[in-house]
Copies of this chain bind each other. A is one copy, B any other.
Amino acid sequence: MGAVKSVRAKRMPRAVREQQMMDAAVQTFGQRGYRAASMDEIAELAGVSKPLVYLYLNSKEELFTACIRREAKALTEAVQAAVEPGLSADRQMWAGLEAFFRHTAENPDGWSVLHHQACTHGEPFAAEVAKMREEIAAFVTGLIAAAARQGVPPAAHRDAELAERDVAGLAQALVGAAESLAAWANETGGVSAKESAGLLMNFAWTGLDRLMRGERWSPQ
């Protein structure tokens, strides 16, 4: 057994092995929940020994924190990478939302770790997610502020400019709406990223009022 393992370990570069462990951990935490997940299960799923998992990270808490950080980074980067600065404001928003919903749909375990598991198991974990949330909210605040600058007509409508605080509040509303919608889409099943992003664009951008009257925003 030991010989087989060391051969296997030699064949597999450290980085690959670490990624397998993290993949297994995210899957296990996401599907079974933080409390129910065991290190044995994670090691087995990753195809490594339990001591190796402990060698890589000292405790279940540390492994969980590493999962939160990896998933938070991946989600933040996916959203930021999708938003090309050259696009118009509405296309930027659409691209960011679509990336968000695609990433959360394609990584349901990662999203479960961030949205459910991390927040339901105490302060240090919740604080990690709060950090990511702040980063995304700051990014969205920038998008909305840029859009507001584009949208304000030259002279007459000076008072149409959005106050800094309003922009921050709108960003919080949009982030909250997106989080809630992503969780709902994953629970409901069969809701595509385009559908969720379209729903939120119609809601937030074109406005519920226009939506009610049958108008639709579309990313043509």
Contacts and interface: CB of A to CB of B under 8 A. Distances in A.
Nearest to A187: B172
A204 interface: yes
Q: Which of A150, A168, A170 has the most CB of B within 10 A?
A: A170
B203 A188 contact: no
A28 interface: no
Contact of A173 (B119, B153, B181): B181
A210 interface: yes
Contacts of A15: none
The quantity of this chain's copies bound in the complex is: 2
A170 to B, nearest CB: 6
Interface string A104-132: 00000000000000011111001000000
Contact of A212 (B152, B176, B188, B209): B152
A21 B58 CA distance: 42
Contacts of A207: 204-210
Interface in A156-205: 157, 159-160, 162, 165-166, 168-170, 172-181, 183-185, 188, 191, 196, 199-200, 203-205
A177 B213 CA distance: 22
A33 to B, nearest CB: 8
- Ranked nearest first, the 8 interchain pairs of A and B with the lowest CB-CB distance are A207-B207, A176-B180, A160-B214, A151-B212, A173-B177, A177-B177, A157-B214, A172-B184
Interface of A: 33, 35, 89-90, 119-123, 126, 144, 147-148, 150-153, 157, 159-160, 162, 165-166, 168-170, 172-181, 183-185, 188, 191, 196, 199-200, 203-215, 217
Given A152-B214, A173-B203, 20 more contacts: A35-B122, A89-B212, A119-B119, A120-B120, A147-B208, A151-B213, A157-B214, A160-B215, A165-B188, A166-B199, A168-B184, A169-B196, A173-B181, A173-B204, A176-B179, A177-B177, A177-B180, A203-B204, A204-B204, A209-B217
